[in-house]
Structure 1
Amino acid sequence: MILPAALASLLLSLTAFAQESDEEQPALDLSGETVVVYNPDFSQSRELAEYYAEKRGIPKDRLIALELPLEDSISREQYEKLIRKPLFETFVRRGWWKLALSEITDPASSKPRQAMLVGESGVRVVCLMRGVPFQIRREQEKPATAKEDEASVDSELATLGMPSAPLAGAIRNPYFNQDVRFQIFQGAPGMLIVGRLDAPDADTVKRMIDDALHAEQEGLRGRAVIDFALKTGAYQEGEDWLTRSTILFREHGVPVFIDKEESLIPDHWPLPDTAFYFGWYAATVSGGVGSPAFKFMPGAIACHLHSYSAAAIRSEDRHWVGPLLKHGAAVSLGNVFEPYLSLTVHFDVLNQRLMEGYTVGEASWNATPVLSWMNVVCGDPLYRPYARGPGSTMGDDGRGRDYALYQGIAMKYQERGSQELKQALSELAETRNKPHLLELTALLSASEGKNAEAIELLEHAESLYVINTDKVRAQLYLAELYRKEGRAEQSKKLLQRIMDNKAFANVPAILAAKAMLEKQ
């Protein structure tokens, strides 16, 4: 047991660590180099643009109105005439871009030629507001694989000041996996970070803006949920991104709930305090994060990898991006058309950059290998969930403080190994009567494949919980761990006990217990 004096010393050291983390983060601000684009003909697009600009301190002269179709998709001709050309000319006319004669290699002939390119840039970020179309439709018939000419408006705009390239297929992203903040990146002066504040409705967009600012100030705290699909062969790459993301979260003190089943996390499965969600591979929102009662933590980042995950951003029940945002996420990444696995966002790179203090826009494009392609970043591109560093705030006296304590201790014990970390967490949980900390420690053991250890911790946590939602969740997790450990009869008895307890009748997770019991 940690004695009171030792406990006080530990908490003081965590506070000092939090202050050090805050001081070490680079204080780069991209708001002065951001342009906000809206569609004045689309309901509330202008109001949202003004709201966002005010919240982020973006000058009013950097709000640009483009009269655009109200549909989700536009033709290539419409994109060129209504979006690309007006924006390019505006950037140059207002002096935000200064052009210079440069020598480049012509992609068609592989010979050098001279062209006017962006030499100096005062615009690095473009935020597209709800109402700006997000798809550029295909024009060519029967294109070769990976040579399609359709694209997202967002990915096409990222190349606005870069040398022109063939419309068919993607182009290499010079910023991909570069270990440098975009504001000081010199590899592509005309490249843009493009984010989109778009969602099923205007109220959700406004909430996304507010949640991002709240998380920056108070800290993004909660669990990461990783939903594997057990794919192999050509799909192994996606599984590897999830595996590396799991390791990254553990290293940075974010508790991780992992599901290593071929199917999605079951409907109604309790996933409280979800701050990060990464999974694949279903066409339409479903499973635990799609259940009616599920809500993300404010500021949450949620991505489900699927070819058409962002094909209907403004729908709350089609594909993934719109529904995830409607369920409370502040950020969701997706694809408007078939992107091919290797060319979509690499989750592990994304999460690494976020933990390093990059903005959502920077991290997302740093994790995407190509441009002029299919991806969109729905969320405030200036949002920095770890602007103050992992473990930089201690949180309030509620559940948020448990996550802050967990993260601070995990960062403190980075070099000592997980057994010492789990011992410290368990002792702190006992000293301060925090069964929730025991549960988070059990998640760590389970993510390491140490199910017997996780069971012991969860059994203790369940015995201390007094709130029914907590007790049901702990018992469900235990029933699943019993099943994995070959203790099927014990699992079945526990599930039946959940069903028979009248006090649990109104807990949404009881539906998961019922479904699980029916399968046994």
Structure 2
Amino acid sequence: MLSLTLLAFFLSPLLAQDPAPALDLSGETVVVYNPDFAQSRELAEYYAQKRGIAADHLIGLECPMTDSMTRQQYNELLRKPLFEAFVRRGWWRLGQQELKDPATGKSMPAMTVAESAVRVVVLMRGVPFQIQRDAQNPKNTQEDEASVDSELALLGLPRQPIAGALRNPYFKQDMRFQMFQGTPGLLLVGRLDGPDADTVKRMIDDALTAEQQGLRGRAVIDLAQKTGAYQEGEDWLNRSAILFRQKGIPVYVDKAEAVLPDHWPLPDTAFYFGWYTTNASGAIASPSFKFQTGAIACHLHSFSGAALRAPDRHWVGPLLRQGAAAALGNVFEPYLSLTVHFDVLNQRLLEGYTLAEAAWNATPVLSWMNVVCGDPLYRPYARGAGSSMGDGRDRDYALYQGTSTRHPGEDSRELKQALTTLAETRSKPHLLELTALLSASEGKNTEAIDLLEHALSLYVIASDKARAHLYQARLYLDENRPAEAKATLQKMLDDSNQKDVPASQAARLIHSQIP
């Protein structure tokens, strides 16, 4: 056990960090549920009780039982009754402003929200998430379909043209949402939804647990090596990897074009960002995989959220089924530039913003296709990154983060030396593995291979050894050293203990593909 003096040494720079102000949004939150949908009201009451939301902030609205609704149904069953309820209950005070008609260029008076006591809307499982298309064969970017969530974000703003996306005034604003006074009627909309009611309850509980105990673990970045018009998405992923490294969060970066293979070991995954396949597949969808409690995940695809209540279609539902507390997606084709910008999202989360604040701050447009599935009030770094030590492997991540904070900057040599010394003196091979991830993310593959070999000399658990061997093999392949990769995998498969762990299935597949 670390002495109190040594513990303070590693934690002191972390505890000194000042996250974003602890603004409480629970009193400004409204929960909307569908009384006709099984357990929708029960879930709304469960969430309100957990978050301390007043009972009169729960609103039941009868909606279709389907995933989608028409534009007319949206207007009559959601938009109009919600607007009227906000005004009737005194949460909104209306005013008037002059708006320019985009068609004629003439100014005209419009009713708008002048003051608001509501900032967040939570849509509970049972409220539809898609608004169907009315116009036939619209021009690109002029589609009139949308997510219910993104449309409701504009509930308190003057009515705008339905077709196409509208600029999000909160996009990249460097402030918490309560401090943003430019658009009083703007709402942060989050959705507690997923494959079943038990999943939704677990999402609520996991968010609270992670807030209280700290979100610790690895970030996984799965590149697709796209270029040209898709380069922007790769840039978001690469910048996210750099950001995680700077904040002392170990990053596993997969540089192969395909998604991470089946059964590839990714323990303690707290963040997952990847692209670009239609349905969940590979390591993240493997039965042996489970996210860290409180994890936030997103696989970028045009229809990643098109079936978010299905556990085995597209991405949002499967990510939640695998244990993520939050998953972001798109219900229709969003076009790359108009979807969530991963790098901005992760920056805001690490700064202490809520999930909803970070997600919508990172999304350039509204009245569009985006959904945020998870507790919108969830603040994974409410107490600052690395604010508590935890136990077991969690302690390793806290030690890694504390050491990283003591050795900031572009040159990581001192950091890696400090981590290696700590791993050796405390007999913590897991820290050597995390240090190897740092070297690999910097492109220093030979250094990473050596660190993993050091970890292997100390590891005693079969799954740990198998993981280190697999990581070594992948690095050998990246270095165009196939013979050494094959020998490493063979060594793993020849070990009577390692050959039966789930990762061995990935090892056999890769071994068979090496000439």
Name the TM tier (shorter chain). Answer: over 0.9
- Residue matched to 2:487: 493
Contact between 1:107 and 1:165, CA under 8 Å: does it hold in 2? Answer: no
1:195-210 → structure 2 map (5 Å cutoff): 195-210=190-205
Distance 2:139 2:106 in 1: 25
Match of 1:482 in 2: 476
Q: Is 1:260 aligned to 2:255, yes or no?
A: yes
Q: Give how far 1:412 is off.
A: 2.0
**Equivalent position SS for 1:166:** coil
Question: Does the Cα contact within 8 Å between 2:195 and 2:310 map onto a contact in 1?
Answer: yes
Q: CA separation in 1, counterparts of 2:449 and 2:470?
A: 11
Where does residue 221 of structure 1 map in the other structure?
A: 216
**Deviation of the 1:9 alpha carbon:** 5.2
TM-fit CA distance, 1:501: 2.0
Determine the structure 2 residue equivalent to 1:446. Answer: 440
1:70 equivalent in structure 2: 65
**Correspondence list, 1:437-476, <5 A:** 437-476=431-470
Tell me how far apart the structure 1 counterparts of residues 65 and 486 of structure 2 sit (CA, whole Å). 53
**Structure 1 vs Structure 2 CA RMSD:** 1.4
TM-score (normalised: structure 1):
0.97
The corresponding residue for 2:132 is 137
Unaligned runs of 5+ in 2: none
Separation of aligned partners in 2, 1:115 and 1:402? 57
CA distance in 1, matches of 2:337, 2:511: 39
What is the rounded CA distance, in whole Å, between the counterparts of 1:24 and 1:204 in structure 2? 29
Match of 2:278 in 1: 283
Q: Distance in 2 between matches of 1:18 and 1:449?
A: 27
Output the amino acid matched with 1:421: L
Contact (CA 8 Å) 1:17, 1:392: kept in 2 or not?
A: no
Q: Is the 8 A contact 2:248 2:404 kept in 1?
A: yes
Contact 1:299-1:385 at 8 Å conserved across structures? yes
Aligned to 1:16: 12
Contact 2:303 2:333 in 1 (8 A): yes
Q: 2:413 pairs with 405, 408, 419, which one? A: 419
Shift of 1:115: 1.6
Partner of 1:32: 27
SS of the aligned residue for 1:212 comes to helix
Question: 2:100 and 2:21 mapped to 1: Cα distance?
Answer: 35
**What's the secondary structure of 1:502's corresponding residue?**
coil
Q: Provide the TM-score with structure 2 as the length reference.
A: 0.98
* Distance in 1 between residues matched to 2:494 and 2:351, nearest whole Å: 47
Alpha-carbon displacement from aligned partner over 1:206-234 (angstroms, at most 9, x marks no partner): 00000000000111000000000000000
Q: Deviations over 1:141-189 (max 9, x none)?
A: 1100110000000000000001211111010000000101001101211
1:432 paired residue among 426, 430, 450: 426
Quick check: 1:222–1:273 contact (8 Å CA) kept in 2? yes
Change (3 A) 1:515 1:60: same
- 1:365 and 2:360 equivalent? yes
Provide the C-alpha distance between the structure 2 equivalents of 1:109 and 1:10, rounded to a whole number of angstroms: 70
Q: Distance in 1 between matches of 2:5 and 2:415?
A: 16
**Which residue number corresponds to residue 238 of structure 1?**
233
Q: Tell me which of 509, 512, 515 is aligned to 1:515.
A: 509
Within 5 A, what are the aligned runs for 1:29-68? 29-68=24-63
Alpha-carbon distance, 1:468 to partner:
0.6
The match for 1:98 is 93
Unaligned runs of 5+ in 1: none
Counterpart residue number, 1:504 = 498
Shift of 1:390: 1.1
Equivalent residue number for residue 144 of structure 2: 149
| Partners of 1:391 and 1:411 within 8 A in 2 | no
Amino acid at match of 1:164: R
- Paired AA for residue 477 in structure 2: R
| TM superposition shift of 1:500 | 2.2
Q: Secondary structure at the match of 2:500?
A: coil
CA distance in 2, matches of 1:344, 1:472: 37
The answer to whether structure 1 residue 410 and structure 2 residue 404 are counterparts is: yes
Task: Give 1:110 shift.
Answer: 3.0
Identity %: 69
1:413-465: CA deviation from partner (whole Å, max 9, x where unpaired): 11473111111111111110000000000000000000011011000001100
Instruction: List, as ranges, runs of 4+ consecutive aligned residues in structure 1 with deviation greater than 4 Å.
Output: 7-10
Quote the residue 2:154 is aligned against.
159
Query: Which residue of 1 is the match for residue 184 of structure 2?
Result: 189
Can you list the C-alpha shifts for 1:486-508, whole angstroms capped at 9, x where unaligned? 32112111212222222124311
